[in-house]
Chains A and B, each alone.
Chain A
Amino acid sequence: MPTRVAWHRAAVPLIVAVAFIAAWSLGIALTGVSRALLPSPTAVLGAGLELVEGGELARHVRVSALRLLIGFLLSVALALPIAMLFARLRGLRAVLEPPLEFLRQVPPLAMMPLLILWLGIGEAQKVGIITLACFFPVFLGTLGGIAQCDRRLIEVGQVAGLSKGAILCRIVMPSALPSTVVGLRIALGQGWRALVGAELVASSAGLGYMIEDAQNLARTDIVIVGVLVIGTLGLASDWAFRRAIAATWPWVKVDGGDGDA
């Protein structure tokens, strides 16, 4: 039976993709819609190959991916220590929580004009947007995990005479990890969306820029290539992330939907 299940897993998405492309071609043939509105699959493929050969696609992907990576890591580097401080210092939490909650309600892209004013239109502003977008999922995921830590495990540390800091680092944070990981996955997706949004407005490279530029040149085929690449990269990065988690922390269940998560 397991082989049949594996076969299904590979085949179903493939069939869906083929059916989608067939419907797309058929739709164009039947309606005769103009190339500028909806280019054919082959036209999109041609545009994609052109971009790959010219090295342009690779350049845009590299720029976008690097921005995402830096912004994501920066948000983790901020969110984890602040969550840990919140867990230890009630006073700090009381002071910082209201402004953070306020900031959380504001979509990162709404902060764009301010960030452009303060940070210019260079890399700092783009990385800033991504950091903003990634911060809250990681932060709230970790705080939630900390709050749910099993008291009985904490008692193990208390009996062993561990300090409060050691209990936090050796018991509370690891036990919060599954919740942190959920936050990290959400953050990756949010960061990716915010990035493309940021690149649409003020930039000279990156996938968002590529789409924006193609729109100005009425190159709908390139726009579609951009959309497909963005979706694919988002899926691929989430997949890679899940694999990395499964390899590093096998006890963290990341593959929901198997009935055991």
Chain B
Amino acid sequence: MPSCRGLGKTFRIDGRNVVALRDVDLDLPRASISVFVGPSGCGKTTLLRLLAGLEQPTSGVILRDGAEPSQAAAERTRVGYVFQEPRLMPWLSVARNVGFNLEGRLPKVEIATRVADILSIMGLTTFASARPDQLSGGMASRVGLARALVSNPDLLLLDEPFAALDAMTRRRLQAELVALWQRLSPTIVFVTHDVEEAALLADTVYRMESGAIVARYPNSIPRPRDATDAGIVALRRAILAGLEEKAEPTSVQPSTLKRGTAS
């Protein structure tokens, strides 16, 4: 549903221009899962922030449903955003954090049942009344995930949502996300550093590099998918090869390295 044309974002840091996104053309078909991979600092979070309307592009446009200009439509689309950090309200219990976006919009009883459902999916039922500062990192990130999922968004933006989780929980929640997607068909934009995760979840994997989309990997392998499936393995290999090919030159140029660590 949303699409980007010539999308660019340049930040100014200390009088210097930093190009976070350049000339991104992108179509996110309704009810598709698009996964973005790429090295740290390549602009993945910036892309999500633009899609969420938290940042204005310095060039190009974001169109909703192909035609409407972004601003007004952004308010009509329900957006769920799982930030790279949990961003929980420290003064609210886990349950109230999860129900935060629903409060005042739905009857209390309905909020309570929805929150209870999603907490049980996330394995957090016994922590419903805990405060955020009483949670582990992985638990806090699941609360952030639950908060985004509970409002059944049309557009679901996830920034490395499973990064803080152990392998088992990660696999279980990947399956839960796919199940939820099959049930409610939101349009999903998913950022990850885990290539296997990308291959398992995506309809299309996008590889980014210094603010640009440099490769697209369509993935029509039927679901449920298996990490050992030949097609998935081949896709993983292709993405990894792309990531490594570009990683090499940077690591052998000392001057580039120095600049990278200094900034």
Cβ of B90 under 8 Å from chain A: yes
Q: Does B100 contact A (CB under 8 A)?
A: yes
| Other-chain residue from A159, A170, A177, A250 in contact with B79 (beta carbon distance below 8 A) | A159
Q: Which of B33-41, B81-89, B231-239 contacts A (4 or more CB under 8 A)?
A: B81-89
Q: Give per-residue flags for A153-182: 1 if the beta carbon is below 8 A from chain B beta carbons, else 0.
A: 101101111000010001100110100000
- B104 contacts across to A, CB distance below 8 A: 166
CA distance A156 to B131 in the complex (A): 18
Determine the interface band of chain B, counting residues with CB < 8 A from chain A. Answer: 20 to 34
* Cα distance, A152 to B144, chains bound together (Å): 13
Cα A159 to Cα B81 in complex, Å, equals 7
Complex interface: chain B residues within 8 A of A171 (CB): 89
Q: Are A158 and B75 interface neighbours, CB within 8 A? A: no
Q: Which one of B83, B90, B101, B131 contacts A160 once the chains associate, using CB atoms below 8 Å?
A: B101
Task: Decide: B54 and A155 in contact? CB cutoff 8 A.
Answer: yes
Within the complex, the shortest CB–CB distance from B7 to chain A, in Å, comes to 19
A171 to B89, CA, bound (A): 8
Closest to A150 in B: B87
Pairwise interchain contact A251-B87, C-beta atoms closer than 8 A:
no
| A156 & B87 in contact (Cβ 8 Å cutoff) | yes
Choice from A156, A159, A249 contacting B91 with Cβ under 8 Å: A249
Decide: A177 and B91 in contact? CB cutoff 8 A.
yes
User: Are A250 and B87 neighbours in the complex by a CB distance under 8 Å?
Assistant: no
Complex CA distance for A235 and B100, rounded to whole angstroms: 38
Q: Tell me if B52 is interfacial: C-beta within 8 Å of chain A.
A: yes
Q: Is the interface of B mostly helix, strand, loop or mixed?
A: loop
Closest B residue, CB atoms, query A166: B104
Q: Flag B147-160 by CB within 8 Å of A: 1 or 0 each.
A: 00001000000000
- In the complex the two chains form, is B87's CB within 8 Å of A174's CB? no
Q: Does B226 contact A (CB under 8 A)?
A: no
Contacting residues, chain A, for B100 (C-beta < 8 A): 156, 160, 170
B117 interface hit (Cβ, 8 Å): no
Contact B54–A251 (Cβ < 8 Å): no
The reply to whether A152 and B52 contact each other, CB–CB distance below 8 Å, is: no
**A170 / chain B contacts, CB cutoff of 8 Å:** 100, 103
Q: How far does the alpha carbon of A159 sit from the alpha carbon of B100 in the complex, in Å?
A: 12
With a CB–CB cut-off of 8 A, which chain B residues contact A250? Answer: 131
Given contacts A152-B83, A166-B104, A251-B133, contact A159 B89 (CB under 8 A): no
Cα(A160)–Cα(B79), bound, Å: 7
| A window 79-125: CB within 8 A of B | none
Note all chain A residues with C-beta closer than 8 A to B85. Answer: 152
The CA-CA distance from A69 to B103 in the complex, in Å, is 34
Question: In whole angstroms, how far apart are the Cα atoms of A170 and B101 in the complex?
Answer: 11
What's the Cα separation between A153 and B91 when bound, in Å?
12
**Closest-CB distance, A102 to chain B (whole angstroms):** 34
Whether A153 touches B131, Cβ cut-off 8 Å, given contacts A159-B52, A160-B101, is no
Shortest distance between the CB of A211 and any CB in chain B (Å) = 42
Q: Which residue of A lies closest to B103 (CB)?
A: A170
Within 8 Å by CB of A152, from B87, B91, B133, B151, lies B87
Q: Bound complex: CA of A175 vs CA of B100, how far in Å? A: 15
Chain B positions 122 through 165: 1 when the CB is less than 8 Å from some CB of chain A, otherwise 0: 00000000010100000000000000000100000000000000
The answer to whether A153 touches B75, judged by C-beta atoms less than 8 angstroms apart, is no
Q: B90, A158: Cβ atoms under 8 Å?
A: no
Chain B residues closer than 8 Å to A158, beta-carbon distance: 53-54
Contact of B87 among A153, A177, A249, A252 (CB under 8 A): A153
Q: How far is the CB of A146 from chain B (nearest CB, A)?
A: 15
B218 to chain A, nearest CB (A): 29
Task: Indicate whether A174 sits within 8 Å of B91 (C-beta atoms), given known contacts A155-B54, A251-B131.
Answer: yes
Verify A153–B89 contact, CB threshold 8 A: yes
Cα A185 to Cα B205 in complex, Å, equals 55
The minimal Cβ–Cβ distance linking B109 to chain A, given in whole angstroms, is 20
- CA gap between A252 and B91 in the complex, in Å: 8
Q: Which of B52, B79, B90, B101 contacts A251 (CB 8 A)?
A: B90
Contact check, B91 vs A175: say whether CB atoms are below 8 A apart. yes
C-alpha gap A252/B90 in the complex (Å): 9
Residues of B within 8 A of A156 (CB): 81, 83, 87, 89, 100
Q: Find chain A residues with CB under 8 A from B131 CB.
A: 250-251
Interface members, chain B 70-102 (any A CB < 8 Å): 75, 78-81, 83, 85, 87, 89-92, 100-101
5 pairs across A/B with beta carbons < 8 Å?
A159-B54, A160-B100, A174-B92, A175-B89, A250-B131
Residues of A that sit less than 8 Å from B by CB: 152-153, 155-156, 158-161, 166, 170-171, 174-175, 177, 249-252
Give me the 5 closest cross-chain CB pairs, A-B, nearest first: A160-B101, A159-B81, A174-B91, A251-B90, A159-B52
- Beyond contacts A153-B87, A174-B92: 6 other A-B pairs, Cβ-Cβ < 8 A, are A159-B52, A161-B79, A171-B89, A175-B91, A250-B131, A251-B90
